[in-house]
């Protein structure tokens, strides 16, 4: 019984520890919504906020030239803010394909 | 001459460089090659002459292999298509890659078997990159008839990178854009290799297990780290990781291959399988993992090195890391000599070379062995490994990506150990997820937490002053 080698013991401990953490975290997520934010990466880490981004930042985005960036910022100033991501299509120079790419980069 | 393979690889690469510079006439090289071959067959007893001739012939091998790679067969589709061709082509062949769906567009590599232009039907070969503007259920090996116009990819330049050149290295010279369902006709039968189809099937099952257990963002990162599937990684994260010099964790590398080897070896050990059978099975599993992850350059490098290491253990021979690294480079360059000019290939080999060459020297220089505190020693070792890799790859990254990121050294000390934990937990999640989704859910929350921590650290590091310089 339990005639494990050192390596096998380490693996068993790793698996048990991981499963143990998983169960505790799953439980805490169900109890407290804040824990969910702590555990799962939020959209801010992976996308840029279209309503807060500056011109210098937007022009560094792949597929957005300085001119297009200016038009996006101009549209945002004119309408106070973007309410839906689809509004990007109304900016001159953003067609279906470019919109499909940009919606991967921005969030509102 | 302990590192014979290193010398052979070096001279073979020299041949590739000479061929790319177009300084030597092809026929003259053939004549010189034949002359040396006959001279060496007469004087093979003299060691020095024999060795010099072998090295010279290796240069010629590299030279001819690259020349051959550039020369297309007579019936290659590229030879029939002229620039700005308005001709409608009907192409018969099969899907030669796993179709990728992104932004409602499907793209895949199509391997051609025959073509038709006007009423002229002819046997043809070559690969075409197909972009379909709608979603269609296709998989690797599906026989198809495609009707459309063929065009050449644009050769726009960004730094020293050209999309056209990139596709050329994949043997793709033409692109077909399809906008109508009627342009795609599915034919009966299966065109590809059953082995590759099996690998893709396994990969899709593994991906399913990941995406079932985790939300999209952490799942995309885990799929990249464990299976090398980077297509869903958000642009911003990729960009931030390039800036911090940690983007290497998003590809399958030697590190993943060593983890797979370790897990397999351990599993077979627990199952009490004898040593020799265990090693053979481990080699087979490594080859399967290589196929599953798409056999990219870093994986092939690591797999060849892993197989050499396990074989040395099997035959009870000494393992020389330089020779195994050289062998893996030679293996890739014999099959695809154009990979020599691929940035990924250069980074993969130079970073490993820098670590195995510079790290022991830096360790001795800083007297790291004298450190008694284990934590400081661990941090010191991590720092020196990162420093070695950074010093080795600095000039390639600076030249190609126009970025110098001193923060790389610190970022790697923090992020690489975390990536190790994520990869180990990720493999655990995938293995258990293949058995039952509930088992994967046991591990999903810790994996997501580690990924969240990694992204937060990376985002914070980038904000430090002089973290990176772009020019």
Chain CA centroid to CA B186, Å:
31
Q: Residue B409's closest CA among B429, B388, B428?
A: B388
Same domain, yes or no: A22 and A59 = no
For the question of an ipTM over 0.85, the answer is yes
Same domain, yes or no: A34 and A48 = no
Same domain, yes or no: A75 and A32 = no
Same domain, yes or no: A30 and A62 = no
Token look-up 């009627």 returns B182
CA distance A78 to chain B (A): 27
Residue of B100, B225, B231, B236 for testing the chain A interface, max A β-carbons within 10 Å = B236
Alpha helices (H) along B293-402:
297-314, 321-335, 343-365, 374-401
A32 domain residue, yes or no: yes
Task: Judge whether B277 and B287 are in contact, CB under 8 Å.
Answer: no
Q: What pLDDT shows up at residue B125?
A: 92
Measure CB to CB from residue B456 to each of A8, A22, A45 and give the nearest one. A45
Same domain, yes or no: A35 and A52 = no
- Cα B216 to Cα B16, B208, B212, B450: the distances in Å are 43, 11, 9, 15
In the predicted model, what is the mean pLDDT of residues B372-397? 85
B371 vs B355: CA distance, rounded Å = 20
Same domain, yes or no: A84 and A97 = yes
User: Number of folded domains in chain A?
Assistant: 2
Q: What pLDDT shows up at residue B166?
A: 82
With 0-12 / 13-18 / 19 or more C-beta atoms within 10 angstroms meaning exposed / middle / buried, residue A36 is middle
pLDDT, tens digit, 9 for 90 and up, residues B56-73: 889 999 999 999 988 888
Q: pLDDT grade, residue A26 (50/70/90)? A: very high
Pick from B130-134, B219-223, B344-348, B464-468 the range whose average pLDDT is largest. B219-223
Residue with more model confidence, B265 or B188: B188
A97 domain residue, yes or no: yes
A87 domain residue, yes or no: yes
Measure CB to CB from residue B236 to each of A18, A29, A47 and give the nearest one. A47
CATH code of the domain covering residue A75 = 1.10.150.320
Q: pLDDT grade, residue A3 (50/70/90)? A: low
DSSP one-letter code for B76:
B
Task: Judge whether B281 and B263 are in contact, CB under 8 Å.
Answer: no
Q: Longest Cα pair distance anywhere in chain B, in angstroms?
A: 80
A22 domain residue, yes or no: yes
Residue of B101, B102, B103 for testing the chain A interface, max A β-carbons within 10 Å = B103
Same domain, yes or no: A53 and A101 = yes
Q: Is the dihedral of CA B213, B214, B219, B225 positive or negative?
A: negative
Task: Judge whether B388 and B394 are in contact, CB under 8 Å.
Answer: no
A33 domain residue, yes or no: yes
A77 domain residue, yes or no: yes
A100 domain residue, yes or no: yes
**B84 conformational bin, left if phi > 0, alpha if psi -120 to 50, beta if neither:** left
Range of the domain at A12: 6-40
Q: pLDDT grade, residue A24 (50/70/90)? A: very high
B146 vs B136: CA distance, rounded Å = 13
> Any CB–CB contact under 8 A between A36 and chain B?
no
Work out the angle at residue B439's Cα, subtended by the Cα atoms of residues B433 and B441, and round it to the nearest 5 degrees: 85
For B91, phi then psi, to 5°, come to -110, 135
Does residue B157 carry a pLDDT above 80?
A: no
CA distance B79 to chain A (A): 31
Same domain, yes or no: A103 and A58 = yes
pLDDT, tens digit, 9 for 90 and up, residues A54-100: 988 898 888 888 999 999 999 999 998 899 988 999 999 888 888 88
Same domain, yes or no: A98 and A48 = yes
Same domain, yes or no: A103 and A52 = yes
A1 domain residue, yes or no: no
Structure tokens that stand for B175 in this block: 């692109």
Chain CA centroid to CA B70, Å:
21
- Three-class DSSP category at B139: coil
Task: Judge whether B323 and B4 are in contact, CB under 8 Å.
Answer: yes
Measure CB to CB from residue B235 to each of A7, A14, A62 and give the nearest one. A62
Pick from B91-95, B271-275, B365-369 the range whose average pLDDT is largest. B91-95
Structure tokens that stand for A7 in this block: 């390596």
In the predicted model, what is the mean pLDDT of residues B360-375? 85
Same domain, yes or no: A21 and A54 = no
Same domain, yes or no: A56 and A100 = yes
């Amino acid at each position: 019984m339990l005639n494990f080698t050192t390596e096998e013991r380490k693996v068993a401990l790793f698996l048990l520890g991981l499963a143990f953490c998983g169960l505790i975290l799953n439980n805490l997520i169900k109890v407290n919504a804040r824990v969910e934010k702590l555990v799962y990466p939020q959209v801010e880490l992976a996308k840029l906020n279209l309503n807060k981004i500056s011109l210098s930042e937007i022009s560094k985005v792949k597929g957005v030239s300085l001119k297009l960036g200016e038009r996006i910022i101009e549209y945002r100033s004119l309408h106070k803010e973007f309410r839906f991501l689809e509004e990007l299509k109304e900016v001159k120079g953003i067609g279906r394909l470019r919109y499909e790419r940009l919606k991967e980069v921005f969030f509102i | 001459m302990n590192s014979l393979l290193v010398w052979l690889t070096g001279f073979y690469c020299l041949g590739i460089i000479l061929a790319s510079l177009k300084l030597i006439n092809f026929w003259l090289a053939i004549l010189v090659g034949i002359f040396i071959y006959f001279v060496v067959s007469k004087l093979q007893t003299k060691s020095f002459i024999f060795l010099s001739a072998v090295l010279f012939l290796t240069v010629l091998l590299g030279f001819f292999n690259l020349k051959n790679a550039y020369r297309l067969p007579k019936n290659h589709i590229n030879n029939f298509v002229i620039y700005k061709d308005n001709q409608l082509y009907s192409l018969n062949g099969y899907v030669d890659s796993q179709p990728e769906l992104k932004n409602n567009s499907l793209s895949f590599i199509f391997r051609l078997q025959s073509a038709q232009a006007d009423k002229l039907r002819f046997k043809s070969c070559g690969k075409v990159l197909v972009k379909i503007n709608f979603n269609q259920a296709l998989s690797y090996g599906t026989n198809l008839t495609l009707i459309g116009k063929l065009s050449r990819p644009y050769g726009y330049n960004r730094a020293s990178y050209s999309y056209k050149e990139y596709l050329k290295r994949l043997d793709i010279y033409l692109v077909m854009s399809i906008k109508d369902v009627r342009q795609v006709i599915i034919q009966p039968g299966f065109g590809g290799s059953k082995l590759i189809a099996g690998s893709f099937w396994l990969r899709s099952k593994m991906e399913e297990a990941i995406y079932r257990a985790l939300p999209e963002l952490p799942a995309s990162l885990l799929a990249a780290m464990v299976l090398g599937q980077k297509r869903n990684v958000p642009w911003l994260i990729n960009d931030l990781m390039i800036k911090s010099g940690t983007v290497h964790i998003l590809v399958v590398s030697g590190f993943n291959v060593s983890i797979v080897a370790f897990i397999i070896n351990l599993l077979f050990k627990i199952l009490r399988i004898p040593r020799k059978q265990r090693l053979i099975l481990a080699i087979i599993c490594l080859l399967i993992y290589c196929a599953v992850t798409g056999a990219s350059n870093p994986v092939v490098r690591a797999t060849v090195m892993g197989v050499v290491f396990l074989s040395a253990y099997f035959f009870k021979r000494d393992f020389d890391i330089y020779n195994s690294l050289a062998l893996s480079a030679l293996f890739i360059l014999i099959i695809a000599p154009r990979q020599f000019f691929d940035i990924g290939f250069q980074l993969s080999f130079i970073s490993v070379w820098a670590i195995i060459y510079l790290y022991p020297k830096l360790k001795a220089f800083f007297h790291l062995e004298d450190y008694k505190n284990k934590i400081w020693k661990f941090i010191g070792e991590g720092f020196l490994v990162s420093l070695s890799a950074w010093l080795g790859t600095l000039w390639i990254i600076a030249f190609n990506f126009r970025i110098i990121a001193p923060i790389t050294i610190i970022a790697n000390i923090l992020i690489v150990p975390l990536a190790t934990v994520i990869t180990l937990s990720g493999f655990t999640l995938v293995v258990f997820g293949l058995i039952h989704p509930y088992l994967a859910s046991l591990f999903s929350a810790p994996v997501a937490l580690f990924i969240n921590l990694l992204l937060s650290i990376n985002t914070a590091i980038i904000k430090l002053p002089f973290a990176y310089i772009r020019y």
